[in-house]
Amino acid sequence: MKSKYWREGEPFVWGSGAALALILLLILTLLVVIFKNGLGVFWVSPLSHLEMQDGSKLMGEVVQSSVMSMRDEPRSQLKIANRDLYSLDFKWVSDKDIKQVTYPQDAILIERQEYGNFVGFLSSVTLLNQPSLPSGEYATLLAGLDDLKANMPELEAVKSQISDLNYRVESLDHKLAKLRFRGEEQGDDFQQLTMQKELLQTEFQTLVTTLNVLQARLMQNTARFTDASGTMLTIPLSAMVRVYKPNNLSFFAKVSLYLQKTRELFFDEPRESNTEGGLFPAIFGTVLLIIIMAIFSFPLGVIAGVYLREYARDGFMVRLVRIAVNNLAGIPSIVYGIFGLAFFIYGIGSSIDQIFFPAQLPAPTFGTGGILWASLTLGLLTIPVVIVSTEEALGAIPGGLRESSYALGATKFQTLTRILIPLASPGIMTGFILAMARAAGEVAPLMITGVVKLAPSLALDGQYPFFHLNRKFMHLGFHIYDIGFQSPNVEAAKPMVFVTTLLLIGIVIALASTAIFMRNRMKKKFAIAD
Amino acid sequence: MKNDNRNAIIAIEDSIVQVRDLNLFYGTSQALFNLNFDIPRNKVTALIGPSGCGKSTFIRCINRMNDLVDSVNINGSIQLDQQDIFDKSVDVIDLRRKIGMVFQKSNPFPKSIYENVIYGLRIGGVTEKPVLEEAAEVSLKRSALWDEVKDRLHDSAMGLSGGQMQRLCIARAIAVSPDIILMDEPCSALDPRSTAHIEELIRELNGEYTIIIVTHNMQQASRVSDLTAFLYEGELIEFGKTTDLFTVPVKKATEDYITGRFG
Ligand SMILES: Nc1ncnc2c1ncn2[C@@H]1O[C@H](COP(=O)(O)OP(=O)(O)OP(=O)(O)O)[C@@H](O)[C@H]1O
Ligand SMILES: [Mg+2]
């Protein structure tokens, strides 16, 4: 009996089943944690107003509850916000110290440009040049914010004009530097450019004045609030991002807020050293990085794989190359980063600067980290995966198909393009998917090839020549590291870490499922009979 | 050199292929020994012999498929229309367009039936749609597949049965109008009905194409071929009219083989 049990390998079946279950469990736990925390961030939670035994009052949202192991006491963490008043956003309170908990209907939450959220109560609103005021302070506040929003486009227009001017002055500077470099400081061109620059600078001054006036006017609209313990605080309306009463929201209002915040996440710039606001530049940077990486590495990898499998004579050299390629995939990514820094940035980038932008030196143009170099570095990192999968996909094609094609008078190239590549494409796609997923998740090599905490401008925008691949960029993976571990207020950044992680996973899944969808269509199209 | 095979050249008035002193080596091991024979034009010639005797190796010489195997070394000559196919001036692509080949394992491309048939024409640079459609229809009719597939020409060829696939491969070979069609055990993976179908087809093509067919099935050889060559351990043992070879074999080895005493 026992020998049969062992002979049929029953324990191994159980063992492998258990191993698989364990792995699935780990992955599932990870996903559940990320999804639960990430998806919940934008859902409005109620503000609890706590009256303590000692008479003090606190207000905030309960973030988590736990039992303190030492004294066996339940306690809760409260996000009390109001960083400008209390200097800390979070506070632990022991449940036995609480006398009473209420959820006041008129408690108000303000998302601000600075100092994080404010929670408290509205007392009065001061609006200048607002002829017809609605009744009620809260309605007045909302009306003031609407008015502000209506003024926003004007402000934005001035700001974008300023940044345009900046860019133009900068390119004039480049031209001037070039002329100076050639020693043509006395030439007509130089004089003309200098005049142009002066014109631009006066224009610039007027714009800045306009901006200041606008901003000062907006600053005059303010509202006064009290916090839970009665401290007064005046906040200008222009510092407010969003105002609502968390305890007085219908379900639909909450849903709508949730959607608003999600929209903001996707399309807005970050605020407050990245712990609040949107992730648009980081999403943009991540996707653009992967796209440039793909443009560089996929064709090259496929061509190399095709060469190795179909053209190179199988000999010592080819085997050596194959081993080398396989091992390349195992090199730590930071090493690629260092290589990228040395080869692309210091090597190629500096040479480009010397040849094409000598006038700007010593300020580097391409000789410093940028999205192009980071993409190329990631490309190097992923090329082995593409090569190996291309080779394997070609190798898996039955020899008979190849021979039939040759027997019909096809050349090697025709056989490749008409039979082999289409047939291998699902396998090659698998390589792409793996490469993309790997590239999207890499952070280490980016940190030395051009990723930044906050990029002033995108690598692709409306300013000629549209692509600015030498620019620095933001990246979701780096964002996670930065706000999770480098931010001054880690606790406040925690929700954002989860959201960013969720987003990064989302992007990887979206890219991968597009690729998988395409692969399945190819598979169906090029299925081989056996 | 074992024995001299010249006696195998029988009088053939109109031969399309002349094999002279053909030796083939895979690396150092010799697979074909001093082959000499003529293959008649527009007739069916069968190659029989025990497994590993070099039948496939031989027919792959005729369209130079052995070029694809690195280790192969060939000496001697094969004349096709008075031209040595191993000559440097011969373009192997042109040669293969003149010689169709059907393999043991049917291997249609993972494309539509239509695209399969016209593959040879397409890679030859034919782009006119009417020409392609005409060629597809003619070759599918020739290979007795037309009625079965005419309504689904643009469906994938992978949906065909094994026998239909093999006929599609024959149609594909016919479409480029070759002079010679090589068939390497075309029926060995098929059921008796499909086999009968293909044999019927071969008989129909007889007279229009020169067909060289490798088979392990004596009955098949005697049913479809005009001449039969018996190969044994890389040598041509006997070559003659099929009726003669199967009824009054000259060599003892041939008799042993066809009566099933070995092989
Ligand atoms: N690519 C190759 N490399 C080395 N030797 C080979 C190769 N192909 C065939 N041979 C050898 O050449 C000899 C003839 O093989 P071939 O395939 O021509 O036999 P065959 O008559 O077609 O046999 P079967 O009836 O089994 O198909 C065999 O001994 C075989 O081992
Ligand atoms: Mg064979």
pLDDT digits (tens, 9 = 90+) for B194-216: 888 889 889 988 888 999 999 98
Burial class (CB in 10 A: 0-12, 13-18, 19+), B219: exposed
Distance from CA of A493 to the nearest CA of B (A): 54
pLDDT value of position B4:
44
Q: Do A527 and B93 touch (CB under 8 A)?
A: no
- Per the CB < 8 A criterion, the answer to whether B44 and B38 are in contact is no
Residue type, A167: Y
Burial class (CB in 10 A: 0-12, 13-18, 19+), A503: buried
Q: Which residues pair with A415 in a beta bridge?
A: none
pLDDT value of position A386:
92
Burial class (CB in 10 A: 0-12, 13-18, 19+), A265: buried
pLDDT value of position A129:
66
What is the band of A132 on the pLDDT scale with cuts at 50, 70, 90? low
Ligand nearest to the backbone CA of B49: 1
**pLDDT, averaged across chain A:** 85
Closest CA to B221 of B187, B181, B194: B187
Residue B112: closest C-alpha in chain A: A525
- Report the nearest atom of ligand 1 relative to the CA of B50: 25
My answer on whether A199 and A253 are in the same domain is no
The whole domain housing A409 covers 280-525
Measured at the CA of A66, the angle between CA A63 and CA A70, to 5 degrees, comes to 145
pLDDT value of position A374:
92
**pLDDT, averaged across chain B:** 87
Rg (CA), chain A: 30
Cα torsion B153, B157, B161, B162 to 10°: value is 130
Distance from CA of A464 to the nearest CA of B (A): 44
- The H or E element containing residue A92 is strand A90-94
My answer on whether A491 and A362 are in the same domain is yes
pLDDT value of position B7:
46
**Within 10 A of B166 (CB to CB), how many other CB atoms are there?**
30
Query: What global pTM score does this model have?
Result: 0.80
Distance B222 CA to ligand 2 centre (A): 19
State how far the Cα of A431 lies from the Cα of A302, in Å rounded to an integer.
10
Residue type, A53: Q
- Find which of A318, A408, A522 to mutate to test the B interface (most B CBs within 10 Å of its CB): A408
| B263 part of a folded domain | no
Q: What is the pLDDT of residues A463-514, one digit of tens each?
A: 667 777 778 888 899 989 988 888 777 777 888 889 899 988 888 888 888 8
Chain B residues with at least one Cβ partner in A under 8 Å: 63, 65, 68, 70, 93-94, 96-97, 99-101, 103, 105, 107-110, 119-120, 122-124, 156, 158, 165, 169, 172-173, 176
pLDDT value of position A270:
81
Q: Do A404 and B101 touch (CB under 8 A)?
A: yes
The best mutation among B57, B105, B187, B236 to test binding of ligand 1, ranked by most ligand atoms within 8 Å of the C-beta, falls on: B57
Sign of the Cα pseudo-torsion (A461, A462, A466, A468, in order): negative
| B225 part of a folded domain | yes
My answer on whether omega of the bond before A362 falls inside 30° of 0, hence cis, is yes
Number of domains comprising chain A: 3
Cα of B134 vs its chain's centroid, Å: 25
- Per the CB < 8 A criterion, the answer to whether B146 and B140 are in contact is yes
Percent of chain A clearing pLDDT 90 (strictly above): 17
My answer on whether A237 and A367 are in the same domain is no
- Per the CB < 8 A criterion, the answer to whether A478 and A501 are in contact is no
Distance B183 CA to ligand 1 centre (A): 16
Percent of chain B clearing pLDDT 90 (strictly above): 31
- Segment A308-323 mean pLDDT: 87
pLDDT value of position B172:
92
| A82 part of a folded domain | yes
Ligand nearest to the backbone CA of B25: 1
Distance from CA of B13 to the nearest CA of A (A): 29
- Segment A426-441 mean pLDDT: 87
Q: Do A408 and B176 touch (CB under 8 A)?
A: yes
Which residues in chain A are closer than 8 Å to B165, comparing Cβ atoms?
Answer: 529
ipTM of the complex model: 0.89
My answer on whether A107 and A175 are in the same domain is no
- Segment B33-62 mean pLDDT: 91
| A97 part of a folded domain | yes
CATH number for the domain harbouring residue B211: 3.40.50.300
Distance from CA of B36 to the nearest CA of A (A): 24
| A169 part of a folded domain | yes
My answer on whether A78 and A181 are in the same domain is no
- Segment A120-139 mean pLDDT: 78
> Which of A401, A422, A527 lies nearest to residue B107, judging by beta carbons?
A401
State how far the Cα of B253 lies from the Cα of B222, in Å rounded to an integer.
18
Residue nearest to atom 1 of ligand 1 (CA): B69
Q: What is the pLDDT of residues A66-125, one digit of tens each?
A: 776 666 778 888 888 888 888 888 888 888 888 888 898 888 999 888 888 899 898 888
pLDDT value of position B136:
92
My answer on whether A234 and A356 are in the same domain is no
Distance from CA of B122 to the nearest CA of A (A): 10
**Residues for chain A: how many in total?**
530
| A12 part of a folded domain | no
Distance B165 CA to ligand 1 centre (A): 25
pLDDT value of position B5:
45
Structure tokens at A64: 């988590």
Locate tokens 């631009």: which residue? Answer: A200
Whether the per-residue pLDDT at B44 is higher than 90: the answer is: yes
Distance B58 CA to ligand 1 centre (A): 9
Q: Do A525 and B68 touch (CB under 8 A)?
A: no
Which residues in chain B are closer than 8 Å to A418, comparing Cβ atoms?
Answer: 119, 122-123
Distance B91 CA to ligand 1 centre (A): 26
Residue nearest to atom 28 of ligand 1 (CA): B52
Q: What is the pLDDT of residues A515-526, one digit of tens each?
A: 888 888 888 877
Structure tokens at A112: 């601000």
Residue type, B235: E
Least confident of A134-148, A319-333, B97-111, B113-127: A134-148
Question: What is the DSSP track for A338-364?
Answer: HHIIIIIIIIIIHHHHHHH-GGGTTS-
Three-class secondary structure of residue A128 per DSSP: coil
Cα torsion A261, A263, A265, A270 to 10°: value is -90
What is the band of A176 on the pLDDT scale with cuts at 50, 70, 90? confident
| B235 part of a folded domain | yes
Q: Is A521 on the interface with B (CB under 8 A)?
A: no
- The H or E element containing residue B245 is helix B242-247
DSSP B103: -
Structure tokens at A456: 């002033």
Residue nearest to atom 20 of ligand 1 (CA): B52
pLDDT value of position B187:
86
Burial class (CB in 10 A: 0-12, 13-18, 19+), A279: buried
Cα torsion B60, B64, B65, B68 to 10°: value is 140
- Report the nearest atom of ligand 1 relative to the CA of B71: 3
**φ/ψ (deg, to 5) at A39:** -75, -25
Structure tokens at B198: 């293909």
My answer on whether A167 and A57 are in the same domain is no
State how far the Cα of B71 lies from the Cα of B247, in Å rounded to an integer.
39
Quote the longest CA-to-CA distance of chain A.
103
Residue B65: closest C-alpha in chain A: A407
- Per the CB < 8 A criterion, the answer to whether A40 and A51 are in contact is no
Distance B217 CA to ligand 1 centre (A): 18
Least confident of A92-101, A182-191, A298-307: A182-191
My answer on whether A147 and A239 are in the same domain is no
Residue B159: closest C-alpha in chain A: A529
| A143 part of a folded domain | yes
My answer on whether A194 and A243 are in the same domain is no
Q: Is A74 on the interface with B (CB under 8 A)?
A: no
- Per the CB < 8 A criterion, the answer to whether A276 and A83 are in contact is no
Cα of A184 vs its chain's centroid, Å: 45
**Residues for chain B: how many in total?**
263
Residue B102: closest C-alpha in chain A: A404
| A410 part of a folded domain | yes
Structure tokens at A87: 């200097």
State how far the Cα of A476 lies from the Cα of A279, in Å rounded to an integer.
8
pLDDT value of position B1:
38
State how far the Cα of A254 lies from the Cα of A42, in Å rounded to an integer.
9
Distance from CA of A411 to the nearest CA of B (A): 7
- Per the CB < 8 A criterion, the answer to whether A360 and A277 are in contact is no
Pocket of ligand 1 (CB under 6 A): B 26, 31, 49, 51-57, 69, 71
Q: Is A526 left (phi over 0), alpha (psi -120 to 50) or beta?
A: alpha
SS3 per residue for B218-236 = HHHHHHHCCEEEEEECCEE
Structure tokens at A162: 């300023």
Sign of the Cα pseudo-torsion (B55, B59, B65, B71, in order): positive
The whole domain housing B228 covers 6-258
Least confident of A241-255, A356-370, A408-422: A356-370
| A300 part of a folded domain | yes
Locate tokens 């048939």: which residue? Answer: B117
> Which of B70, B103, B120 lies nearest to residue A409, judging by beta carbons?
B120
Q: Do A409 and B93 touch (CB under 8 A)?
A: yes
Structure tokens at A501: 């992680």
The best mutation among B55, B71, B73 to test binding of ligand 1, ranked by most ligand atoms within 8 Å of the C-beta, falls on: B55
State how far the Cα of B246 lies from the Cα of A307, in Å rounded to an integer.
50
Which residues in chain B are closer than 8 Å to A419, comparing Cβ atoms?
Answer: 109
Q: What is the pLDDT of residues B64-93, one digit of tens each?
A: 999 888 889 999 999 988 889 988 888 999
Locate tokens 């999600």: which residue? Answer: A262
Q: Do A403 and B96 touch (CB under 8 A)?
A: no
What is the band of A126 on the pLDDT scale with cuts at 50, 70, 90? confident
What is the band of A360 on the pLDDT scale with cuts at 50, 70, 90? low
Closest CA to B231 of B71, B40, B27, B54: B54
Rg (CA), chain B: 18
State how far the Cα of A434 lies from the Cα of A386, in Å rounded to an integer.
8
Q: Is A312 on the interface with B (CB under 8 A)?
A: no
Q: Do A529 and B158 touch (CB under 8 A)?
A: yes
Number of domains comprising chain B: 1
Q: Do A411 and B93 touch (CB under 8 A)?
A: yes
- Per the CB < 8 A criterion, the answer to whether A450 and A346 are in contact is no
| B1 part of a folded domain | no
Measured at the CA of A172, the angle between CA A167 and CA A174, to 5 degrees, comes to 95
- Report the nearest atom of ligand 1 relative to the CA of B58: 18
Residue nearest to atom 25 of ligand 1 (CA): B51
| A274 part of a folded domain | no
Three-class secondary structure of residue B182 per DSSP: strand
Three-class secondary structure of residue A291 per DSSP: helix
My answer on whether A111 and A135 are in the same domain is no
A358: Cβ–Cβ under 8 A, 6 or more apart, which residues? A178, A181
